[in-house]
Amino acid sequence: MSDLYSDSNYKQSALAPFGPIGIISHTANKKLAEQVSSVLSQKRRMRFEKRSNPFVDNPGYSRSDYLISSQNVRFQSGEGKFALGESVRGHDIYIITDVLSHSFSFDLVNFDHVISADDHYMDLLRIISVCSGKAKRINVIMPFVYEGRRDKLDSFRESYDCADVLKKLYKLGVANVIIFDPHDGRIENAVPLMSIEYPKCQYKLTSSLLTKYGSIKLDKDNTIVVSPDESGMSRAIFYSSHLNLPLGVFYRDKDYTIKVDGEHPIKEFRYLGDDVTGRDILLIDDMINSGSTMLRTANKLHEQGAKDIYCLAPFGLFTEGYERFDKAYEDGIIKAVCCSNLNYHPEEIYSHEWYLEADMVPYIARIIEALNLDESVYDLINSTSRLIELTQQIRLGEVFDEFSE
């Protein structure tokens, strides 16, 4: 029979789990890991009760808790160690790490030291090393990729850390790395033989926004997608093309003849795109650091007559606090800021009316289960079809608007 022959009735058979799932978290993001474990437990318990697949009786398939007992120890000298409280031999291990978390500190030579991203990375290496050679497979879920904020190598006198990080994970035997909405997807070129998946947050961010603000009209006459700079165009294009909305961008004209604090100053900040007067704005970026870029852009759009401005970014760091966002909200410049729960947020943030959080826990749980069963994750991590379906749904806010006209 020809190798070119294809059976249109072919269906991929259900594959056996790679091994019992085991989830390991850093202390800093244990809450997220616990929620993922809970969702997995509920889904698999239902399958066990319904006998919905032939593997429900496999050892470790249905459990009340998939978290592996562990302890991260920190000494006063700043050194640390990681210890497992149970065996991981034969397990399919998923390490969930949040390098952005700043919720813990320890006493370092009589001074309070907040655990940094560098500390979290070293802890990750400790976890991998203690699992290596025992676990059947090691997977790392690192929503915000450590040192992944570089667009290009500006000088050969500078370190290119992200490539070194990924190579280190590969050499330690990590099979899969899951990164959400990376700043630059080209980082995967550093380790072509290691599986790296890039799930997108766009669907959940958009659906969360529409759930709370049901009156947003996603059509070309009422809403525009805007990128705050040219480097973020690919993300804005994704929203624009799949939501069928016009696209705008801000262009930064820099003075390359001088440098101020190591940066070329901006001579002009200019908007390129359709008229924003009276139209809602979806302001798209990959992360909110201090918020200066997002708020500067929102101010410009507000001055040009934009209606409601909704800021969407998977990662909200808010490194300089929330005061400027509070003022922008009070002044009517922004309507809402929607971020995911993929990185740590202090409880304080939930008291701000402008903040909206997209829950990514069920998505993470689904990705873990797909990888555990060696399923194709292409359709799962690609939110294109779901975004299109979302825009075709009739929402109550739109119905009420029609009756009020």
Fold match between domain 21-197 and domain 202-341+375-404: yes
**What was the pLDDT predicted at 399?**
38
Residue 352 is encoded by which pair of tokens? 């701000």
pLDDT in tens, 134-163: 999 999 999 999 988 765 556 566 777 888
Q: Give the DSSP per-residue string, 291-337.
A: SHHHHHHHHHHHHTT---EEEE-SEE--TT-SHHHHHHHHTTS-SEE
Q: Work out the percent of the chain whose per-residue pLDDT is above 70.
A: 86
Kindly state the average pLDDT of the residues 387-395. Answer: 63
> Taking phi first (over 0 means left), then psi (-120 to 50 degrees means alpha), and beta for anything else, what does residue 78 get?
left
Counting runs of H as helices and runs of E as strands, what totals does the chain give? 11, 18
Residue 320 is encoded by which pair of tokens? 């300089």
Q: Work out the percent of the chain whose per-residue pLDDT is above 90.
A: 55
Query: What's the CATH code, domain 21-197?
Result: 3.40.50.2020
Kindly state the average pLDDT of the residues 19-28. Answer: 88
Look at residue 298 and tell me whether its pLDDT is greater than 90.
yes
Domain regions of the chain by residue span = 21-197, 202-341+375-404
Confidence category of residue 392, pLDDT binned at 50, 70, 90: low
**What was the pLDDT predicted at 26?**
79
CATH architecture of the domain with range 202-341+375-404: 3-Layer(aba) Sandwich (3.40)
In the three-class reduction of DSSP (H, G, I as helix; E, B as strand; rest coil), residue 58 is classed as coil
- Dist CA 70 CA 93 (whole Å): 13
Look at residue 29 and tell me whether its pLDDT is greater than 60.
yes
Kindly state the average pLDDT of the residues 254-273. Answer: 70
Of the two residues 3 and 399, the one the predictor is more confident about is: 3
Tokens 């033989």 locate to: 193
Kindly state the average pLDDT of the residues 344-357. Answer: 94
pTM given for the model: 0.87
Kindly state the average pLDDT of the residues 44-59. Answer: 90
**What was the pLDDT predicted at 372?**
94
Q: In sequence order, which residues have a C-beta less than 8 Å from that of residue 64 and are 6 or more positions away?
A: 41
pLDDT in tens, 88-107: 999 999 999 999 888 888 88
Look at residue 222 and tell me whether its pLDDT is greater than 50.
yes
**What was the pLDDT predicted at 403?**
33
**What was the pLDDT predicted at 66?**
96
Kindly state the average pLDDT of the residues 288-293. Answer: 90
Q: Give the DSSP per-residue string, 201-240.
A: -HHHHHHHHHHH-TT---STTTEEEEESSGGGHHHHHHHH
Look at residue 181 and tell me whether its pLDDT is greater than 50.
yes
**What was the pLDDT predicted at 396?**
42
Confidence category of residue 405, pLDDT binned at 50, 70, 90: very low
Q: Give the DSSP per-residue string, 369-386.
A: HHHHTT---HHHH--HHH
The one-character DSSP state at 59 is T
Q: Which of 8, 36, 42 is nearest to 24 (CA)?
A: 36
Of the two residues 262 and 201, the one the predictor is more confident about is: 201
**What was the pLDDT predicted at 323?**
95
**What was the pLDDT predicted at 397?**
46
Q: Which of 259, 271, 287, 280 is nearest to 230 (CA)?
A: 271
Of the two residues 385 and 189, the one the predictor is more confident about is: 189
Q: Which of 181, 137, 143, 147 is nearest to 167 (CA)?
A: 147
- Dist CA 295 CA 124 (whole Å): 34
Kindly state the average pLDDT of the residues 2-9. Answer: 46
Kindly state the average pLDDT of the residues 65-77. Answer: 89
**What was the pLDDT predicted at 259?**
67
Q: In sequence order, which residues have a C-beta less than 8 Å from that of residue 381 and are 6 or more positions away?
A: 197, 198, 199, 200, 367
**What was the pLDDT predicted at 5?**
44
Please give the mean pLDDT across all residues of the chain. 86
Confidence category of residue 194, pLDDT binned at 50, 70, 90: very high
Kindly state the average pLDDT of the residues 366-373. Answer: 93
